[in-house]
Amino acid sequence: MRAAIYRGKGNLEVAEIAVPRVGPSEVRIAVEYCGVCGTDLHDVLDEWGASGSIGGHEWSGRVVEVGSDVLLEINTLVVGHPGHACGRCKACLASRTNLCEERPTAGLEQPHGAFADYVVIGSDRAVPVPSGVEARAAAYAEPLAVALHALDLAGVDSKHRVMVSGCGPIGAAAVAALIAQGHDGVVVVEPSPLRRDLALRLGATVLEPSDLESPWHPGRAVDEPVDAVIETSGIRTAAESGLAQLVACGRMVLVGTGMDFPRLDSNRIILNELVVTGAYTYGANGIASALELISSGLLPLDVLIEPESVGLDALFDTMVRLRAGEVAGKVLVRP
Q: pLDDT tens across 61-81, in order? A: 999 999 999 999 999 999 998
Determine the average pLDDT of the residues in 254-278.
Answer: 94
The pLDDT assigned to 106 comes to 60
Cα-based distances in Å from 158 to 54, 155, 161 = 40, 10, 8
Helices (H) and strands (E) in the chain, counts: 11, 14
- Amino acid identity of residue 92, one-letter, is C
Question: Is residue 104 situated within a structural domain?
Answer: yes
Question: Is residue 300 situated within a structural domain?
Answer: no
User: Are 93 and 19 within one domain?
Assistant: yes
Question: Is residue 218 situated within a structural domain?
Answer: yes
User: Are 220 and 116 within one domain?
Assistant: no
Q: Is 257 annotated in the active site?
A: no
Question: Is residue 286 situated within a structural domain?
Answer: no
d(CA 288, CA 78): 11
Question: Is residue 179 situated within a structural domain?
Answer: yes
pLDDT band at 199 (very low <50, low <70, confident <90, very high): very high
Element (H, E) at 247: strand 246-254
Question: Is residue 298 situated within a structural domain?
Answer: no
A 10 A CB-CB count for 245 gives 25
Question: Is residue 229 situated within a structural domain?
Answer: yes
Q: What is the CATH number of the domain that holds 35?
A: 3.90.180.10
> What domain range is 309 assigned to?
2-140+305-333
pLDDT band at 185 (very low <50, low <70, confident <90, very high): confident
User: Are 38 and 114 within one domain?
Assistant: yes
Worst-scoring range by mean pLDDT, 81-95, 214-228, 256-270, 299-313? 81-95
Determine the average pLDDT of the residues in 144-166.
Answer: 96
pLDDT averaged over every residue in the chain: 93
Question: Is residue 54 situated within a structural domain?
Answer: yes
Q: What is the CATH number of the domain that holds 150?
A: 3.40.50.720
User: Are 131 and 159 within one domain?
Assistant: no
Domain count across the chain: 2
Q: Given a cut of 80, is residue 272 above it in pLDDT? A: yes
Q: Given a cut of 60, is residue 108 above it in pLDDT? A: no
The pLDDT assigned to 295 comes to 97
User: Are 187 and 208 within one domain?
Assistant: yes
The one-character DSSP state at 307 is S
Q: Is 76 annotated in the active site?
A: no
The pLDDT assigned to 28 comes to 96
- CB within 8 Å of 232: residues ≥ 6 apart: 150, 164, 165, 166, 167, 168, 170, 171, 174, 255, 256
The pLDDT assigned to 109 comes to 56
Q: Given a cut of 90, is residue 233 above it in pLDDT? A: yes
The pLDDT assigned to 152 comes to 96
d(CA 323, CA 325): 5
A 10 A CB-CB count for 160 gives 17
User: Are 255 and 153 within one domain?
Assistant: yes
User: Are 71 and 122 within one domain?
Assistant: yes
User: Are 34 and 102 within one domain?
Assistant: yes
pLDDT band at 49 (very low <50, low <70, confident <90, very high): confident
Contact of 230 with 205, CB cutoff 8 Å: no
Worst-scoring range by mean pLDDT, 48-52, 196-200, 266-270? 48-52
Give percent of the chain with pLDDT exceeding 90.
82
The pLDDT assigned to 299 comes to 97
The pLDDT assigned to 267 comes to 96
pLDDT band at 141 (very low <50, low <70, confident <90, very high): very high
pLDDT band at 31 (very low <50, low <70, confident <90, very high): very high
Q: Given a cut of 60, is residue 264 above it in pLDDT? A: yes
Contact of 140 with 305, CB cutoff 8 Å: yes
Helix axes 193-202, 169-180, angle to 10 degrees: 20
A 10 A CB-CB count for 110 gives 12
